[in-house]
Amino acid sequence: MTPQILTLIGALYALSLTFIIGYLIWKGKMEKRTYILILGITAISGFILLGPFVPTKLLDLLSGTQQGQIALVMVSVLGLLLLSALVWGRSFCAYACPIGAFQELAYRVPVHKARLGKSHALAVRYLVTVAIIAAAILLGRNLLQELGLVYIFHLDFGLYSLSFLAIILASMIVYRPFCRLLCPFGALSALLARHSMFQMQKNESCVDCGRCEKACPTGEIGSDGSECYLCMRCLETCRKDGMEFRKRRAP
């Protein structure tokens, strides 16, 4: 199979999963074994489909290295994935991106965890995003590609793959460090997700016990939802059915 066909299959997988996941969580049909299985399939799909296509393809398009019909398809796919954030929030990042899936699974390794303050993380990510996008547009360079992130998905275990290993090791301690500090697609997606139609929100059954606040790795409870990765921890930790993925209402 050519890389173009694999990219198209990856796009189809990402688009369909993004919408299916949002629907399943909305309908309360997302069980733990289901989402762990999906995360595992998405992580493995990175090797079969030759890489985490969204963050790097975005930069390929901006730097002009991806052209022709495949570029048109990629623009449409990336546009649809970004627009999906207006409906389901970060459902693509939550379950359909191989880098995200690896980080999510790594954070489940039971070792000591450290919290990353939301405001600091956002400040770093927007600075990095501006730098990465400027390098792509002005210098024609894809810095994420140069970081070597995709090589390991090509089963190329050279020195470059150390950056991937570093991200996975860091993800065991800090929740999704690459997504929250370095990813330009994540930054754009978060801008739209803060206006999403659906969001994790407390409902009338909530007794303000604070368990979900402690369980949320990004401090998104009661916030705008832009950094909610639909990880299900708040839903699973609540004993009163006080948390729900539902249509956004005014705070």
- Residues forming the site for ligand SF4 (CB under 6 A): 54-55, 93, 97, 99-100, 178-179, 183, 185-186, 200, 202, 206-212, 215-216, 218, 220-221, 228-234, 237-238, 240, 242-243
Q: Which is nearer to ligand SF4, 63 or 226 (CB)?
A: 226
Exposure string over 10-35, b if 16+ CB within 10 A, otherwise e? bbebbbebbbebbebbbeeebeeeeb
Q: Which is nearer to ligand SF4, 69 or 195 (CB)?
A: 195
Q: Which is nearer to ligand SF4, 127 or 207 (CB)?
A: 207
CA distances (Å), origin 19, targets 11, 12, 91, 141, 158 = 13, 11, 8, 32, 36
CB of 194 to ligand SF4, least distance (A): 13
CB of 241 to ligand SF4, least distance (A): 8
Distance CA 154, CA 164 (A): 12
CB of 238 to ligand SF4, least distance (A): 3
Q: What share of the chain is helix, strand, coil (3-state, %, to 5)?
A: 60, 5, 35
Q: Which is nearer to ligand SF4, 8 or 92 (CB)?
A: 92
Q: How far is CA 24 from the centre of its chain?
A: 17
Q: Which is nearer to ligand SF4, 19 or 68 (CB)?
A: 19
Beta-carbon contacts of residue 197 (< 8 Å; ≥ 6 apart)? 86, 87, 88, 247, 248
CB of 226 to ligand SF4, least distance (A): 10
CB of 191 to ligand SF4, least distance (A): 12
Three-state secondary-structure class, residue 243: strand
Task: Work out the angle at residue 181's Cα, subtended by the Cα atoms of residues 180 and 186, and round it to the nearest 5 degrees.
Answer: 55
Q: Which is nearer to ligand SF4, 110 or 210 (CB)?
A: 210
